[in-house]
């Protein structure tokens, strides 16, 4: 199967090439190693346990082993270390997902960047890397690709990565199926939004009607009977 192209909703043509998934995984491992260097709390924290024979072992903490009944201070330390680990784990998961997506753009897309595109991105506080391939991926992400484009492009790159066993006709079939799925999802979300808007309008009108009905009604000044 030959290299392919992808046309964005805005009409930008991108040249695609097969990506070898081991390269994506290798890049993620390198990024994780770098992240762990700066965030050692990503490693599961441990506590020391002593056996009856006097041997000491490092035991991994979990959310059920934070409390030390005989040492409130150690309990607080365990809790703080566990919270830091959970926070780092969540942060890395988000970074990993974002960087996996960007890796596909870095390795699988070739395109020409417009002049002076960086100004708008940097104006909102985004620090752009010096590496041209990473800058290209960020231009695609921030400027060239709609949300629908992102999903379709990533799917097409993964299909291309399978290699020559996938034919051009199969790639085109994937495009049609994926676009159809996105269109159905968009119609469903649009219908939900209309229903929410209509429901809100009905509620607002009912509140206005209740307010109108209450006008001119004087509250009881005294108890009946």
pLDDT per residue as tens, the chain (225 positions):
455 899 999 999 999 999 999 999 999 999 999 999 999 999 999 988 888 788 888 889 999 989 888 889 989 999 999 999 999 999 999 999 999 999 999 999 999 999 989 999 999 999 999 999 999 999 999 999 999 999 999 998 998 888 665 666 666 666 666 566 656 665 666 677 777 877 766 556 556 556 566 555 454 434 333
In a domain, 149, yes or no: yes
Among 11, 2, 8, 5, which residue's Cα sits nearest to residue 179? Answer: 8
- Residue 208's H or E segment, with its range, is helix 168-214
| φ, ψ of residue 90 in degrees (nearest 5) | -65, -45
Is residue 156 in a domain?
yes
| Domain presence at residue 116 | yes
Question: Which of 210, 168, 23 has its CA nearest to residue 106?
Answer: 23
Residues 200, 206, 208, CA angle at the centre, nearest 5°? Answer: 105
Q: Within a domain: residue 217? A: no
Query: In this structure, is residue 223 part of a structural domain?
Result: no
Q: How many CB atoms lie within 10 A of CB 200?
A: 10
Q: Report the SS3 class of residue 123.
A: helix
In a domain, 220, yes or no: no
pTM of the model: 0.69
Per-residue confidence (pLDDT) for residue 24, from 0 to 100: 96
pLDDT, position 52: 79
User: What is the domain count for the chain?
Assistant: 1
Q: Which residues form the domain of 103?
A: 4-166
Considering only CA atoms, which of 39, 158, 159, 150 is closest in space to residue 88? 39
Q: Cα separation of 154 and 100, whole Å?
A: 10
For residue 218, being part of any structural domain is answered with: no
């Amino acid at each position: 199967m030959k290299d392919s192209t992808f046309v964005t909703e805005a009409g930008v043509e991108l040249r695609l090439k097969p990506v070898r998934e081991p390269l994506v995984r290798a890049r993620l491992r390198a990024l994780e190693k770098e992240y762990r260097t700066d965030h050692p709390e990503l490693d599961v924290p441990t506590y020391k346990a002593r056996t009856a024979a006097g041997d000491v072992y490092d035991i991994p903490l979990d959310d059920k082993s934070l409390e030390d009944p005989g040492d409130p201070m150690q309990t607080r330390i365990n809790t703080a270390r566990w919270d830091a680990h959970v926070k780092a784990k969540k942060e890395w998961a988000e970074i990993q997902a974002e960087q996996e997506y960007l890796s596909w753009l870095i390795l699988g897309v070739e395109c020409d960047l417009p002049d002076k595109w960086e100004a708008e991105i940097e104006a909102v506080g985004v620090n752009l890397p010096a590496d041209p391939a990473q800058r290209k991926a960020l231009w695609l992400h921030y400027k060239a690709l709609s949300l629908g484009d992102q999903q379709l492009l990533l799917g097409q790159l993964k299909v291309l990565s399978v290699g020559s066993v996938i034919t051009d006709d199969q790639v085109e079939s994937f495009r049609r199926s994926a676009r159809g799925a996105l269109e159905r999802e968009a119609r469903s979300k649009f219908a939900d939004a209309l229903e929410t808007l209509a429901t809100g309008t009905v509620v607002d009108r009912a509140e206005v009607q209740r307010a109108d009905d209450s006008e001119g009604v004087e509250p009881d000044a005294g108890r009946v009977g």
